[in-house]
């Protein structure tokens, strides 16, 4: 069948021409965008490769060597490292000194070192999330345009939260490490401050979308600002707030692990040390523990969020 182009009216021809024009422009944009991305990516990789200690193609065959380095001397070593049981290979070096890390609760009962450190990390995350929730909760109402009529206050609170959110966590941790020298407080401070900013931003967006009728009703009854917020807004937004806080908890467990690795204590530090010292069984034990914990926290949080706000829980927060 031969295809004959249909005869078009004047209007049809105009539309056809316009469509062609649009198509050409769209294609141009697409090609331009792709070209830009290719160039940007190429440049990025070249730059990354140039400024890296090892070169990509030199190192590529060896990148996954670490898997080989992770094989312990026998399968049981993993459990010995995890539960601080004595190792038959103990030669007095740090590599096999599992029982030395035991944290004794009573004379004979102990918490294995890594589980104790994992608990430390989880508690850092939990405390930070609670602190961040509390302060973010207070701040968000001051940042919401439907509750705070003073422009300057809103502006100030919003910028303040943005700075808290963007402020590099590592600097806060480093500063408090310099002052306090050790302990979990630097990590708690760093993670909490970021959490205040991140949750505050999410919270005030929720508040701004809240239904204001109840608030108006209470205003007409002579309630003051605090009472209006507490009774009219909080009941509406609390499930969403809690859902965001749980998401934040997931993120904070990871964040406090990382902060730990740069000196904040907890499991992160143990991991960094054992990887850098090539203690295969210890590394494997920590990775396993961390993996299970993160999966467990994620599952728990997802379950709770689903209960709180139903299926709209699948959001992500920064």
Partner 1 sequence: MLAIRHVTRRFGETTAVDKVDLEIAEGEMVGVIGRSGAGKSTLLRMINRLIDPSEGEISFQGTQVSALGGAALRRWQRDCAMIFQQFNLVPRLDVLTNVLLGRLNHRSTALNLLSVYSREERLKAIAALERLDIAQTALQRAGTLSGGQQQRVAIARALMQEPKVILADEPIASLDPLNAKVVMDSLADINAREGITVVTNLHTLDTARQYCSRIIGMARGSVVFDGAPEELTREAVHRIYGGEGRAEAIPEEITSTSIDTPLRPQGEQPRLEPALAG
Partner 2 sequence: MGAFHAHEAEALAARYPDVFARSLRSRLTGWLIAAGIVAYFLFAWWFFSIGQVLANGNWGIAGIYMADWVSYEVRPDIEFRDNHLEISFPRFSPLGENPDPAWLVEKRAIVEIRPEEKGSVLTGAASPSGGFLGNLGGNEDTADESFLGALGGGQPNMRRTDEVSSETVLKTRREEAVVEASVSFGSGNRVDVFPERVEVTRGGEMLILDIVRDDRVEVRGPLPAWASQREPGAKVFVYFGFSGRAEIGNDEVTVRRRFLGWENFVFDTRSPFWGRPAGEVISLIVSGERLDPERSNAALAWNNFLNNAEWQHGDVWLKLLQTIVMAFAGTVLATLVAFPLSFAAARNISPNRVGNFVLKRFFDFLRSVDMLIWALFFTRGFGPGPLAGISAIFFTDTGTFGKLYSEALENIDEKQREGVRSVGAAPVSVQRYGVVPQVLPVFLSQSLYFWESNTRSATIIGAVGAGGIGLKLWEAMRTNTDWENVAYMVLLILLVVFVFDNISSALRRRLIGAEPGQH
Q: Which residues bind partner 1 (CB under 8 A)?
A: 211, 213-214, 216-224, 226-227, 230-232, 235-236
Q: Which is nearer to partner 2, 72 or 87 (CB)?
A: 72
Distance of closest approach, residue 221 Cβ to partner 1, in angstroms:
6
Write down the least CB distance from residue 131 to partner 1, Å: 21
Angstrom CA distances, 151 to 143, 144, 146, 148, 154, stand at: 9, 10, 11, 7, 5
Binding mask of the shown chain, residues 212 to 251, with x at each position contacting partner 2 by CB under 8 A: ----------------------------------------
Residue 186: enclosing H or E segment and its boundaries? helix 185-208
Query: Is residue 145 a contact point for partner 2 (CB under 8 A)?
Result: no
H helices, E strands: number in the chain = 13, 2
Q: Which of 36, 291, 300, 303 binds partner 2 (CB under 8 A)?
A: 291
The yes or no reply on residue 298 touching partner 2 (CB under 8 A) is yes
Among 86, 168, 235, 310, indicate the residue that binds partner 2 (CB under 8 A).
168
Structural tokens at position 12 = 């049809």
Q: Which is nearer to partner 1, 53 or 220 (CB)?
A: 220
Q: Both tokens of residue 210?
A: 């809240």
Exposure letters 163-189 (e unless 16+ CB within 10 A, then b): ebbeeebbebbbebbeeeeeebbbbbb
Determine which helix (DSSP H) or strand (DSSP E) holds 313, and give its type and residue range.
none
Question: How far from the centroid of its chain's Cα atoms is residue 106's Cα?
Answer: 36
85 with 98: CB under 8 angstroms?
yes
Site for partner 2 in 92-121 (CB under 8 A): 120
Q: Kindly report the CA angle at 299 between 316 and 308, in degrees rounded to 5?
A: 65
User: What's the CA gap between 224 and 291, in Å, rounded?
Assistant: 48
- Pick from partner 2, partner 1, none: which does 220 bind, CB < 5 to 8 A by kind? partner 1
Q: Using CB under 8 A, pick the residue from 12, 235, 310, 318 that binds partner 2.
A: 318
User: What is the Cα–Cα distance from 252 to 271, expressed in whole angstroms?
Assistant: 17
259 binds partner 2 (CB under 8 A): yes
Residue 236 binds which entry of partner 2, partner 1, none, CB below 5-8 Å type-dependent: partner 1
Interaction of residue 19 with partner 2, rule CB under 8 A: no
52 makes contact with partner 2 (CB under 8 A): yes
d(CA 268, CA 255): 10
Q: Interacting stretch for partner 2, rule CB under 8 A, among 5-13, 71-79, 91-99, 289-297?
A: 289-297
User: Which of partner 1, partner 2, none does 213 bind, CB closer than 5 to 8 A by kind?
Assistant: partner 1
What, of partner 1, partner 2, none, does residue 224 touch, CB below 5 to 8 Å by kind?
partner 1
- Its sign, for the CA torsion 154, 155, 161, 164, is negative
Dihedral (Cα; 32, 37, 38, 40), 10-degree rounding: 120
Binding site for partner 2 (CB under 8 A): 37, 40-41, 44-45, 47-49, 51-54, 56, 59, 62-66, 120, 123-124, 126-127, 130, 162-163, 166-171, 174-175, 177-185, 188, 201-202, 205, 254-255, 257-259, 261-262, 268, 271-272, 275-276, 287, 290-291, 294-295, 298, 314-316, 318
């Amino acid at each position: 069948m031969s295809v004959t182009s249909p005869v078009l009216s004047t209007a049809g021809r105009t539309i056809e021409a316009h469509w062609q024009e649009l198509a050409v422009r769209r294609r141009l944009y697409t090609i331009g965008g792709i070209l830009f991305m290719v160039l940007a990516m190429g440049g990025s990789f070249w730059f990354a490769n140039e400024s890296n200690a090892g070169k990509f193609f030199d190192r590529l065959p060896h990148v996954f060597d670490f898997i080989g380095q992770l094989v312990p001397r026998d399968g049981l070593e993993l459990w010995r490292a995890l539960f601080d049981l004595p190792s038959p290979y103990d030669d007095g070096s740090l590599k096999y000194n599992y029982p030395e890390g035991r944290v004794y609760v009573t004379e004979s009962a102990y918490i294995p070192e890594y589980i104790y450190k994992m608990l430390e990390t989880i508690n850092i995350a939990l405390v930070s999330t609670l602190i961040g929730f509390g302060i973010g909760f207070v701040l968000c109402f001051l940042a919401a345009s439907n509750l705070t009529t003073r422009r300057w206050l809103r502006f100030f609170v919003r910028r303040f939260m943005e700075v808290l959110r963007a402020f590099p966590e590592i600097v806060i941790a480093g500063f408090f490490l310099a002052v306090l020298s050790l302990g979990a407080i630097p990590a708690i401070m760093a993670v909490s401050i970021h959490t205040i900013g991140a949750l505050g931003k999410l919270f005030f967006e929720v508040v701004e979308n809240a239904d204001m009728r109840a608030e108006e009703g209470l205003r007409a009854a002579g309630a003051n600002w605090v009472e209006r917020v507490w009774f009219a807004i909080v009941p509406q937004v609390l499930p969403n707030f809690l859902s965001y806080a749980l998401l934040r908890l997931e993120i904070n467990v990871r964040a406090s692990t990382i902060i730990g690795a740069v000196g904040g204590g907890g499991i992160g530090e143990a991991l960094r040390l054992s990887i850098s010292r090539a203690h295969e069984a210890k590394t494997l034990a920590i990775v396993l523990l961390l993996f299970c914990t993160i999966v467990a926290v994620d599952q728990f949080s997802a379950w709770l969020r689903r209960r709180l706000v139903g299926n709209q829980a699948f959001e992500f927060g920064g």
